[in-house]
Chain A
Amino acid sequence: MTTAAPERPALPSPGRVYRTRAGVELKEFFRQRESVVFTLVFPVVLLLALGAVLDYDLGSGVDFPQYFMAGVITAGVVGSSLQNMAIHIAGERSDGTLKSLAGTPMPKSAYFLGKVVQVLAVTAATVALLLLVGVAVYGIDLPSGVDWLTFAWVTVLGAAACTLLGIAVSSLARNGRSASATVTPIALVLEFVSGVFLPFEQVPGWLQDLASVFPVKWLAQGLRSVFLPDALAASEPAGSWELGRVALVLAAWCVAGLVLCVLTFRWQDRGTR
């Protein structure tokens, strides 16, 4: 059996492994009650709680729930992508799952593709649930016509940027246990200064400038253009929705996130033996 080992069959095609990984990642997420509750239900609770407490008119006939839809969907997208990736990948790194996978002939790209499929599915489920509750409870006006297209590209581009950022951030955490404690405050602060929980024009100017560096602000702004009448664009810092700049900044964050991922991704915890 030594030298004249018979030729072994070919390795499975990457496509087949991609399908396996996509299935694995979907099962991993939707079977874990904590992550489903945290990611899918938390934004809904936020919508119901803040919608019940805050009830003021923002002008142009827009009530708070209608204004808040963009913010709460932003929180849902950030939870499905940035927080989900950062916390779960750090956990998989700490418990040896990543090292174990790295020792197999699985193409490394298959791991990331599985994560992308998971984020897409979770994001779609979160957004659908929020729209459903928004319409059923608050009678939210759904986007119409071309707004749906804007809704789709802003959400997908925002989720992509936040996913890559989440994968990069997972490498910052010392281990899986500390990841949640590291990432959740980062996400909350970013959401707060980006006008997710309150009208963006009420955020102090210097915090608005700070928020403008990060993708969450642009995601929320793009979504406001979908859910708010164009008259309210005047309240934005630039006096318009700046959709071109939204696309540009989110795309730039995708590139930066990808570079960070490639530079920092580790298949095992830092300093393990």
Chain B
Amino acid sequence: MTSTSAHVVADDRPHPGDPLDPDAAISVRGLVKRYGDRAAVDGLDLDIRRGEIFALLGPNGAGKTTTVEILEGHRSRDAGDVRVLGVDPARGGRRWRADLGIVLQSGGGDSQLSVREQLQARASYYADPRDPAEVLELVGLTAQADARGRALSGGQRRRFDVALGIVGRPRLLFLDEPTTGFDPEARRQFWAMVRSLRDLGTTMLLTTHYLDEAETLADRVGVLAHGRLAEVAVPAALGGRGTAPAVVSWTEDGVRRTAETTTPTAFVQDLAARFPGEVPDLAVGRPTLEDVYLKMIGDRA
């Protein structure tokens, strides 16, 4: 943490003991889940607003999957209050499930049904499904509609998982590491699709290992470490990034030089005055999301 005051401003997570937020898509207070005597989730407080894309980051074992599975109603909890779309997931019925979309990490299966047949079957479980043909169009699998799941490439398979997750017209969509194994082009297409879903009003909870993905897509990111939220902030402000000193680097007398400064503009002006023309190899940088993320989870390791 570079600046304590900036940290407080950037961090807008609820505090322990705050009441549940009835307007939030997801509201969590004091969530605890233990496996044996190890607490996988150890007092988590979180509000996710309706309509936002929230990215949950954290190293393996930090409690991401456990948290998400409790929110999805796939796992029980040991303590805490949880509301997902106003309902306790431990008591969510069919009506509640119809408002959720879940894109699993391992999704899939080895079905003998075609992509279109699987999507039609899935749609028939919901009250107000999207047209399967439109969903295939949205995820770019129209040409694969008659293929079986097995015949799809890794990226196509993942997009099909997303199609299964959104065909029920969810108000809240869980995306668990959705672009693992994508090539860069497929990831850009996927990101565009996520944005178009947001434009349709879908709230999304995204877990990912790709920090650029979180930075590009998320309205806010939360960093989980050791079963607690280390910080919640907009990506540009995480870890005091927005106000952290800039790093200026250049080459002088054949030597690579770097300096940290809170006034990079003035610093570069001074630097420019010392050189007759261009400052050799000049670069001005801010800490990347990866820099602050690694520092944050390292601090707590």
Contact = CB atoms under 8 A, between A and B. Distances in A.
A107 B94 contact: yes
B51 A92 contact: no
A200 to B, nearest CB: 38
A12 B127 contact: yes
A17 interface: yes
Contact of B109 (A12, A96, A107): A96
B66 A273 contact: yes
A95 B109 contact: yes
Contacts of A268: 74
A9 B94 contact: no
A105 B97 contact: yes
Contacts of B171: 5
B100 interface: yes
Interface string A124-144: 000000000000000000000
Given A24-B121, A32-B112, A8 B128 contact: yes
Interface residues of A, number: 35
Given A92-B109, A105-B95, A12 B104 contact: no
B216 interface: no
A17 B104 contact: no
Given A95-B106, A95-B109, A17 B124 contact: yes
Contacts of B72: 103
A1 B124 CA distance: 24
B50 interface: yes
Contacts of B285: none
A91 B110 contact: yes
Contacts of B201: 1
Nearest to B120: A20
A102 interface: yes
Interface string B188-214: 000000000000010000000000000
A214 B110 CA distance: 33
Interface string A21-56: 101100110011000000000000000000000000
A8 to B, nearest CB: 5
Contact of A105 (B98, B104, B117): B98
Given A8-B128, A28-B111, A105-B95, A99 B66 contact: no
A31 B149 CA distance: 14
Contacts of A97: 108-109, 111
Contact of B104 (A5, A31, A103): A103
B169 to A, nearest CB: 9
Interface in A90-126: 91-92, 95-97, 99-100, 102-107
A4 to B, nearest CB: 12
A16 B171 CA distance: 23
Contacts of A273: 65-66, 69
Nearest to B98: A105
B267 interface: no
A202 interface: no
B113 to A, nearest CB: 6
Nearest to A3: B23
B13 interface: no
Interface in A39-94: 91-92
Contacts of B95: 11, 105
A10 interface: yes
A5 to B, nearest CB: 8
Given A11-B98, A99-B104, A104-B125, 9 more contacts: A8-B127, A11-B94, A28-B113, A95-B108, A100-B104, A100-B109, A103-B73, A104-B168, A273-B69
29 contacts: A1-B51, A2-B51, A3-B23, A9-B128, A11-B94, A12-B125, A12-B126, A16-B124, A20-B124, A21-B121, A23-B121, A24-B117, A27-B113, A27-B117, A28-B111, A28-B112, A31-B112, A95-B106, A95-B108, A95-B110, A96-B107, A97-B109, A100-B164, A104-B97, A104-B122, A105-B94, A105-B95, A273-B65, A273-B66
